[in-house]
């Protein structure tokens, strides 16, 4: 009888130890999956921040004090887009946000996160619909 009790005790100890071992391995897999899920979520958020786009249209309002432009999107006339600028924003065809006026046509390369747009490059179109003159091509004769 004592031998049966010892055998049962040993079997029970082995079974409990095995159960704890299985639990530890499964628990590590759960943590590994959780870490991988968090990393994927972080990568998706960074992709959303890094994704940007191009906004072009007419300037509705300029607020140099708060570094904000309101632009009516040329592709969707009812949509007004708020674009923020910062020290890294570069300007082409204009010196700064202070020289942009309502009614000007601009094109903005943006970095976006959700509904927030931050201007990377701002390109001002010539006022009055003027186009850049085409370069004059000259025929060159060679010996």
pLDDT of residue 95: 86
- If pLDDT is split at 50, 70 and 90, which confidence band does 131 have? very low
Q: Is residue 113 part of a domain?
A: yes
pLDDT of residue 49: 43
Q: Is residue 139 part of a domain?
A: no
Q: Is residue 92 part of a domain?
A: yes
Both 72 and 87 in one domain: the answer is yes
pLDDT surpasses 60 at 25:
yes
- State pLDDT tens for residues 71-95: 998 876 678 888 999 888 999 998 8
Q: Is residue 143 part of a domain?
A: no
Both 123 and 65 in one domain: the answer is yes
Both 74 and 27 in one domain: the answer is no
Both 72 and 35 in one domain: the answer is no
- Which range of residues forms the domain containing residue 23? 1-50
- If pLDDT is split at 50, 70 and 90, which confidence band does 127 have? low
- If pLDDT is split at 50, 70 and 90, which confidence band does 70 have? very high
Both 124 and 58 in one domain: the answer is yes
Both 46 and 66 in one domain: the answer is no
* pLDDT (average), residues 2-30: 71
Both 64 and 122 in one domain: the answer is yes
**CATH code (residue 68):** 2.40.50.320
Higher pLDDT, 33 or 4: 4
Q: Is residue 119 part of a domain?
A: yes
pLDDT surpasses 90 at 60:
yes
How many distinct structural domains can be found in the chain? 2
What whole-number distance in Å separates Cα of residue 36 and Cα of residue 76?
39
Higher pLDDT, 109 or 133: 109
Both 29 and 64 in one domain: the answer is no
Domain closes at, from 10, 30, 50: 50
Average pLDDT, the chain: 75
């Amino acid at each position: 009888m004592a031998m049966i009790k010892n055998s049962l005790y040993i079997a029970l100890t082995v079974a409990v130890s095995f159960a704890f071992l299985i639990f530890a391995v499964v628990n590590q897999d759960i943590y590994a999956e959780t870490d991988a899920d968090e990393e994927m979520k972080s990568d998706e958020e960074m992709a959303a921040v890094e994704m940007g786009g191009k906004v072009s249209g007419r300037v509705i309002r300029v607020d140099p004090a708060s570094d904000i432009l309101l632009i009516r999107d040329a592709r969707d006339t009812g949509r007004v887009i708020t674009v923020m600028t910062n020290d890294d924003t570069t300007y082409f065809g204009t010196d700064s946000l202070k020289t942009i006026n309502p009614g000007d046509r601009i094109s903005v390369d943006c970095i976006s996160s959700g509904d927030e747009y931050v201007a990377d490059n701002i390109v001002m179109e010539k006022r009055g619909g003027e186009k850049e003159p085409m370069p004059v091509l000259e025929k060159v004769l060679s010996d």
